[in-house]
Amino acid sequence: MASYPDYNPSYFYNGISQAQFNEYNNSTTTPLRNRCIQNSYAPGSTFKMVTAVAALNEEKVDISERIYDSGTYWVEGMDRPYRCWLYTDYGYGHRDLNVIGAIEKSCNVYFYTVGSRTGINLIDKYASYFGLGHKTGVELTNETSGTLAAPDLVKKNEGRNWSEADTIIAAIGQSYNDFSPVQMAKYTSMLANGGYNIDLSIVKSVILSNGTQVSKQEINDFVKKKLNLSNDNVENIEIDPMYINAVQEGMRRVTDDEGGTASRIFDGFPIEVGGKTGSAEAGTDKYGNDITNAWFTGFAPFDDPEIAVVVMVENGGHGYYTAEVAKELIETYFGMNVASITEDMSAALEVESFR
């Protein structure tokens, strides 16, 4: 986990000066804030795999069904249509796409359509299963739970009833949807492993001074008590492997097929990657300019995943740009951008008591 802007930890070693602390604490870039776990952001199109899995597994659409994207999508009662990003940029739609092609090309109209069929309650059910809108329980303080778009939020915050327009916007990762990068990493890992739940942790093991290893259950109980975590009653869902495979294939084409939204970044890359770009609207800045956060989420190698990577850049524009960062992280993990890798084994074992 890396969060930028960052700070110099050596300043805290012998007690940071008040002047330096004030500089950090009052900075508009909030360098003391761990954006990976403390901030939450609209996921944009990186959420579309949730909608895809929910629609497929609940039989609201099948893998082979093609939905026509003319570029626009009309909702009853609206005086103008919602648009696919392609129509906004170029004036035409993606035409006929199945779920694999819709993920590859990030087609809004496809996900407006299947999102409307599926409904917000089922979309939220699957998003919760993937860990979105809930604390992961990582062993760090001040983790955000994020927010899942839901009818009660619209009623509470806006004083109106939920509508189809709300559903289709939530289905493409906007509305009240806000998740932390670490939640998105868990979600991506679950997509990569076939849809099975995982426990996210930065603690590999705890060894007592007498050499015995503390059980994982005891560690979990300690962390929950220390961080005052409650058990989220998330329903377990059995997802048909056929549907997860289809979603994964769409993610592979994002990076590997000519029409994929990150294909130029990964062109010629020796490791096959499953990925998804996202560009999420995040309001306006103090000058009235639109803010668009950029996401890329992915896993590698595609056929036998070892690593999930999430990159989010505040006001980064298009997820295409964050894909470059993700590629470098994958290269580093697999030792592709260094001549040799050596490990310093000289450090002495440090044992701390566990209470």
Q: Return the higher-pLDDT residue of 47 and 344.
A: 47
- Cβ(306)–Cβ(193) below 8 Å: no
Q: Which of 254, 265, 278, 250 shows the shortest CA–CA distance to 331?
A: 265
Structure tokens at 97: 């796409």
What CA–CA distance (Å, rounded) separates 323 from 297? 8
What are the pLDDT digits (tens) for 83-138? 998 988 899 999 999 999 999 999 999 999 999 999 999 999 999 999 999 999 99
What are the pLDDT digits (tens) for 37-54? 999 999 999 999 999 999
What CA–CA distance (Å, rounded) separates 166 from 174? 9
b or e along 90-124 (b: 16 or more beta carbons within 10 Å of the residue's beta carbon)? Answer: eeebbeebbbbbbbbbbbbbbbbbbbbbbbbebbb
What are the pLDDT digits (tens) for 217-271? 999 899 999 998 887 778 899 999 999 999 999 999 999 998 899 999 999 999 9
What CA–CA distance (Å, rounded) separates 201 from 181? 14
In this prediction, residue 339 carries a pLDDT of 61
Residue 105 per-residue DSSP state: H
- Cβ(140)–Cβ(202) below 8 Å: yes
Q: What is the pTM of this model?
A: 0.91
What are the pLDDT digits (tens) for 264-281? 999 999 999 999 999 998
Structure tokens at 299: 């896993």
What CA–CA distance (Å, rounded) separates 127 from 53? 10
Going by their DSSP bridges, the two strands 67-69 and 95-97 should be labelled as antiparallel
User: What is the number of residues in the chain?
Assistant: 355
What CA–CA distance (Å, rounded) separates 37 from 21? 21
Q: Which of 53, 188, 187, 24 shows the shortest CA–CA distance to 111?
A: 53
Q: What is the mean pLDDT of residues 292-315?
A: 96
Q: Is the pLDDT of residue 347 over 70?
A: no
In this prediction, residue 352 carries a pLDDT of 40
Look at the alpha carbons of 200, 241, 98, 61 in this order and tell me if their dihedral is positive or negative: negative
b or e along 163-198 (b: 16 or more beta carbons within 10 Å of the residue's beta carbon)? Answer: bbbbbbbbbbbbbbbbbbbbbbbbbbbbbbeebeee
CB within 8 Å of 288: residues ≥ 6 apart: none
